[in-house]
Structure 1
Amino acid sequence: MTSNKSITLLKDVEPFKSGWRVQVKLLHSWKQQTSYGGPSLELILADETRVKIHCSCKKL
């Protein structure tokens, strides 16, 4: 798989821009149920420099 768009490290990701291309490893995942947010899938991801990020995917 080749592309002209480069991979962005997690330390360089900013919240007010979209269209990032990141390459990460899934470290941990779990399903969570909250009374205020409903069901979600929680993920801990890490890039090649071992920077970690927590992601929450809400079920619609």
Structure 2
Amino acid sequence: MNSKFAPPPSVAELFFKAWSSGCLTESSRHGLRDAFLDDRLNPDDLTAVNRLVHAVRRGWLAME
């Protein structure tokens, strides 16, 4: 088994990284996109994504 590849981060991890750094990175956006495409979002994850989008729209988070 190849140990180079880690599992994708959870939405909660992406949310925490974005809020603690003040920006939503390109890799975080790709992780969120993959979560949507894989249909892995439970209602709590969907709420977290909606909060991230709202924070970007309000200018509380920057996008890199």
Q: Which band: TM-score by shorter chain?
A: 0.3 to 0.5
Q: Which has the higher contact order (CA 8 A, sep 6+)?
A: 2
Identify, as 1 or 2, the structure richer in helix. Answer: 2
Larger proportion of strand:
1
